[in-house]
Structure 1
Amino acid sequence: MAIINQGILGGVSGKIGNVIGGTWKGIDYLRIKPSSVANPKTEGQVDQRSKFSTVLRFLQPMTDFLRVGFKLYANKMTQFNAAMSYNLYNGVTGSYPNYSIDYGNALVTRGNLTGVVGGAAASTVASTVDINWTDNSGSGSAMVTDKTLILLYNGTRGEVVFTTAGPTRSAGTESISVPPEYTGEDVEVFLGFISEDGSKVSNNAYLGSVTVA
């Protein structure tokens, strides 16, 4: 049973059929009670949940990095949710139940700043990953003062090492230290740029999988 508090045009409290009334922070509202789902584990739902879990495992360790990498796409949602949305549709490969991240198409930074040219990564010194790129300053929107956004993802451990204020685009190189226990393990290397004032971000480039020396 529902109660109309202030006359026929006043707030409704309770349930009328499948309509539920209430008050939140002094605001009267009505909402439709959702229909019951006969089978909440249909093939399509299970498939989508499997994709979701795959992307979630990938992105959760880099939540802080995504606050910068997806800062321009956080319209009415968090940066993390924006990254989830993009990678669910673009960053997954395989078929149920064997989904995995398609690193080459996944994005951990997104934007229209001119991106990476000639990026490469290698590890020849213990616990260090060396990253190189071509200085393409002056091409498109690229500036010498753009900062690098670098992320190393260790899928075995579900951990990341990153910087959101790396060397400038003009530097062309950076060495990132990783924990000694990463020796012999693979890290996926992503490189992007952010403008000096933080107003522009580039799509990242995936520089491949590197075995840590």
Structure 2
Amino acid sequence: MAKLKAGILGPLSGKLGPVIGGTWKGIPYIRMNKEADIKRERSPAQLANEEKFKFVNDWLVPFHPFITIGFSNLAVGKTAIAAALKANYKTVFTGLAPNIVVAYDQFQLSSGILPGVLNVNISFSGPDVIQLTWEQNAIKGTTYNDQLMLALYSEELAACDGFAGAVNRSRQQYNFMIQGEMSGKPLHAWLSLTSLERRNISDSIYLGIITP
């Protein structure tokens, strides 16, 4: 325990949290408590978990425009990005740094109860053009102008492309031109739907890897 023998403005004597105070040859001093530093040292497991958490946060960055929409309904007392991290952390990312494995087919781009579309097909129709077709699944709880959201991810570039709201449910087909740097590269694809005002969202579906 530390004491202030000369009052609040006087020198410190003893331990106070991470510091030790005293007087040497009449000169007041303070120094860091080395024992406190030792106690704060993290174990290898703690360091590995911190590295994994950083990896997941960094991996999600290219998806931010999509998961901000896809997890907006779950952003209660937290951000949509935090909700997406919580939903995906344990199921998508296994192992510890630097050997973390990503289960792309388990990744959730969105979560909700809006019915999705059926029989989705996606492919390259040219070096930089993605062709998407689907059946609109016009059932209760859907409207013709529900909006599609497509995310495309390149492992090589660690980058995303795609769209949110460019086409509605009833159209049943759409061609999308990707960024030039992604042309000719294998791409992971996920599809979701949102209502026009984005109050409702569907669960995302993983469409696999598309190659030119």
TM-score category by the smaller chain? 0.7 to 0.9
Q: Is the 8 A contact 1:57 1:158 kept in 2?
A: no
Compare CA radii of gyration and give the structure with the larger one: 2
Task: State the alpha-carbon separation in 1 of the partners of residues 124 and 182 from structure 2.
Answer: 11
Deviations 1:78-106 (A, max 9, x none): 11111111110222245664223211111
Give the 3 Å change call, closer, same or farther, for CA 124–84 of structure 1 in structure 2. Answer: same
Partner in structure 2 of residue 173 of structure 1: 173
Across the aligned residues of Structure 1 and Structure 2, the Cα RMSD in angstroms comes to 2.4
Partner in structure 2 of residue 123 of structure 1: 124
Task: State the alpha-carbon separation in 2 of the partners of residues 174 and 93 from structure 1.
Answer: 35
Give the 3 Å change call, closer, same or farther, for CA 116–99 of structure 1 in structure 2. Answer: farther
Give the 3 Å change call, closer, same or farther, for CA 175–53 of structure 1 in structure 2. Answer: farther
Deviations 1:37-71 (A, max 9, x none): 4541332x244234323422321012222221111
Q: Is the 8 A contact 1:127 1:183 kept in 2?
A: yes
Q: Is 1:89 aligned with 2:90?
A: yes
Unaligned runs of 5+ in 2: 4-14, 18-35
Task: State the alpha-carbon separation in 2 of the partners of residues 110 and 161 from structure 1.
Answer: 20
Q: Is the 8 A contact 1:55 1:87 kept in 2?
A: no
Partner in structure 1 of residue 147 of structure 2: 147
Q: How many residues align?
A: 181
Partner in structure 2 of residue 41 of structure 1: 43
Partner in structure 2 of residue 29 of structure 1: none
Matches within 5 A, 1:67-82: 67-82=68-83
Which protein has the bigger helix share? 2
Q: Is the 8 A contact 1:153 1:189 kept in 2?
A: yes
Unaligned runs of 5+ in 1: 3-15, 19-34
Q: Is the 8 A contact 1:121 1:208 kept in 2?
A: no
What is the TM-score normalised by the length of structure 1?
0.75
Partner in structure 1 of residue 156 of structure 2: 156
Q: Is 1:189 aligned with 2:189?
A: yes
Task: State the alpha-carbon separation in 1 of the partners of residues 80 and 155 from structure 2.
Answer: 21
Amino acid at match of 1:207: L
Q: Aligned to 1:133, what secondary structure does the other structure show?
A: strand
Give the 3 Å change call, closer, same or farther, for CA 182–144 of structure 1 in structure 2. Answer: same
Q: Aligned to 1:149, what secondary structure does the other structure show?
A: strand
Amino acid at match of 2:92: G
